[in-house]
Each structure stands twice: as C-alpha cells, then as structure tokens.
C-alpha cells in the first residue's frame, strides 16, 4: 500500500515536470484551456487543475495569499516558514492528512499550491485552510528549521509569517460568503511567438 502510494506520487510529480504522462479521462478534458487573469484575481482558494492518476482524480489548488502585482509579495523567509508550518499542520490533520499530496510555495511568492486526492470544491477545503493559517499564530518555533531537516534552515521569519497568516485568515473569515474568493477570473491562454501555450506551473 505504501509502495503503491509512493509510486503514484512520484508519477504525478514527474507528470507535473513534463517527463511522464498520466492517463486522462477520454470523455472530458480536465486540463483548463484558460489562463488566470492576474490583473483581476483576489486572494482566495481556487481549483488550478484536475488530473487523473490511474483511476483517481487529483486536484491542484491555488491558495492565493496576496493580490499579484498590487500587494507586496510575501517575504521569502516568511514564505519558507509558512511552507514548513502549514505542511506540518495539513499532514497531521486527522480528517485530511491521507488526502494531502503536496503543499508548496509559488515562485511569484503570492501564494501556495496544495495538491489533494479527489476533486473537492474550494468551499469544501475552506475550513481546513482557514484553520491551517490560524494555527500559525500559535506556533512558537518553525518545525524542521534545523540543518538536518531543511536545505536553508537559517532562512526563516516566524514573526512575519505570523503577520501574513493572521492577515490572510482574517481575510478568509471576512469573505467566506464572497464567491470571488473561490472562482478564478479567466483570460485567453497566451501563445508564445513560436506557437507554444504558456503555463506558469
């Protein structure tokens, strides 16, 4: 069982890197043909893509913490701390831990990607993420911030991580009934001059 799960995870991560193919449902295209309009997106929880891994759906969520190109990006050391703290929270949550495949930062430092087994609506994981960001406030030290556990253990900023998490948790709580925090603003996908479709992840 553990071996199968590990192989599935490796296959999915190889697929994301473009070196391995995952069978898609022949009846529907699960890969979005649209691109996110970064001039209109607000902080929130969005479905980025849905893929089929063997016979199981796997969903990638865009957890957007700041508004791109309008608000400052997240401090890189605080981002690193949030990665550790929230990954630890998610993988220890009694209800969701077995569905968590991946939690990690976006390269643009405006949010995170969360990959879960299944195909849950963003609203269904709202409480999970709200509580995950709230938990940062209670953290006294960043888990795994040691040379044996982390490739850059000195690059952490817990106070700034707490500030950013508090701000986002308050925002989520205040906007729970706002559909804009769950629905991507879409635009046509960019095609490069040499005919390739643009993807940012």
Domains and CATH numbers, the chain: 41-183 (3.30.1360.80)
- Average of per-residue pLDDT across 158-175: 98
What pLDDT was estimated at residue 35?
78
> In whole angstroms, what separates CA 119 from the centre of its chain?
14
Name the CA radius of gyration of the chain, rounded.
17
What pLDDT was estimated at residue 10?
46
What pLDDT was estimated at residue 195?
77
Give the residue carrying structure tokens 């629905």.
Answer: 183
pLDDT digits (tens, 9 = 90+) for 86-115: 999 999 999 999 999 999 999 999 999 999
What pLDDT was estimated at residue 26?
38
Distance (Å) of CA 168 to CA 51, 97, 143, 164, 191:
28, 22, 21, 6, 33
pLDDT digits (tens, 9 = 90+) for 35-66: 788 899 999 999 999 999 888 999 999 999 99
Distance (Å, whole) CA 134 – CA 173: 10
Distance (Å, whole) CA 117 – CA 64: 20
Per-residue pLDDT band at 32 (split at 50, 70, 90): low
What pLDDT was estimated at residue 53?
86
**pTM of the shown model:** 0.80
């Amino acid at each position: 069982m553990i071996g199968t799960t590990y192989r599935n995870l490796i296959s999915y991560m190889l697929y994301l890197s473009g070196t391995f193919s995952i069978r898609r449902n022949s009846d529907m295209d699960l890969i979005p043909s649209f691109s996110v309009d970064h001039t209109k997106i607000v902080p929130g929880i969005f479905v980025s893509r849905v893929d089929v891994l063997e016979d199981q759906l796997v969903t990638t969520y865009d957890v957007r913490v700041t508004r791109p190109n309008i608000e400052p990006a997240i401090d890189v050391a605080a981002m690193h701390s949030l990665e550790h703290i929230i990954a630890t929270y998610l993988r220890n949550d009694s209800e969701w831990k077995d569905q968590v495949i991946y939690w990690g930062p976006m390269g643009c430092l405006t949010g995170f990607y969360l990959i879960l087994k299944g195909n849950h609506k963003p609203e269904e994981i709202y409480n999970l993420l709200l509580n995950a960001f709230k938990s940062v406030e209670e953290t006294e030290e960043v888990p795994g911030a040691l040379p044996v556990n982390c490739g850059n253990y000195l690059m952490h900023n817990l106070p700034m991580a707490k500030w950013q998490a508090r701000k986002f948790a308050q925002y989520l709580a205040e906007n729970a009934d706002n559909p804009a925090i769950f629905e991507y603003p879409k635009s046509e996908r960019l095609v490069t001059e040499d005919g390739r479709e643009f993807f940012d992840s």
